[in-house]
Structure formats: C-alpha cells, structure tokens
Structure 1
C-alpha cells in the first residue's frame, strides 16, 4: 500500500523583476477588414500610446487591440526555503 502526503505551501505569483514586460497595439478599425497596423513590441506603454495617437491622427482610426505580456515567478512566503516546490508529494510505503 502506498500512502501519499500532500503539503501545501501558499506561494505568491509575482511579476519577474528580471524581465521587462511587453506592450503592443494593433489597429482593428475598419468596416469589412481590419486596418492591421501594429505598434510593434515596446517595453514602455507610453510608446504604444503615442503610436496609437499618431496612427489616429494619420488615419482617423480609433479602435485598437492592446496586448500586455510579462513573466511571472512563484515566490514562497518568508521563511520557506527557495528549493521547496509549490506542491510536493511524499510517498510513504506501508507494509
């Protein structure tokens, strides 16, 4: 017989400070077809917003799909060793 013990550790999910988030926008204005113009990936949301302003001035398009991406890490609570997994199974064999 095998008995399993589940240990729960309340990890937090936090933004990875070692990787920059990414922002981008795509113009989705148009009656039959989307414009499709894109800002490209930026590391500052202000750059994407400025691209949107310029594109609207040039085209009068006012509808955009915005995307945000980042990396996240699982962070253990204070006092818990870093090597501990969020969910760990210990198998105990009983005779």
Structure 2
C-alpha cells in the first residue's frame, strides 16, 4: 500500500500586473432582439464609456452589457509575505 501525505498550502490570489485588464460593452437594447453593437476592447473604461454615450446619442439605446476581464496569479502565502515584507530598519 502506498502512503501519501497531502499538505494544505494557502494561496493568495492577485491581479497579474504584467497583463492589462480589458474593458468592453455591448448594446443589449432592442425589443425583438439585442442591437448587438460593440465598443471594442480597451485597457481602460474611459473609451468604452465614451462609446456608450455616443451610441446612446445616435440610437437612443440605453442598456449595455459591460465586461471586465483580467488575469490572476496564485501565489503561496509564504511567497506573498516575503514579497511584501517591509525592509529591515536601517541602522542609525
């Protein structure tokens, strides 16, 4: 019989700062079907919000599905503590 030992290793979940987040919106206004117009994908919310304002002015549509996406990194908690530990007090 093989014996196995499983250890619990706590992890932290952090946003991956090396990858830009993604913002976009799609118009879901319409009676029989959604309009479906899409803002495109941007690295910040401002261009998407401006697209929504412009689309509403042009069409009168006021309902949007907004999407935000990012990447996550899991790190063992001990690694997180080492990376975020303050530097030792300097000798005076």
Measured on the aligned residues, the alpha-carbon RMSD in Å equals 1.3
Q: Which has the higher strand share?
A: 1
5+ residue gaps, structure 1, are: 81-95
2:53 paired residue number? 53
How many residue pairs are counted as aligned between the two chains?
80
Q: Distance in 2 between matches of 1:30 and 1:12?
A: 42
Runs (4+) off by over 6 Å: none
Q: Which has the higher helix share?
A: 2
5+ residue gaps, structure 2, are: 81-92
Scaled by the length of structure 1, the TM-score of the pair is: 0.79
Higher RCO (C-alpha 8 Å, min separation 6) = 1
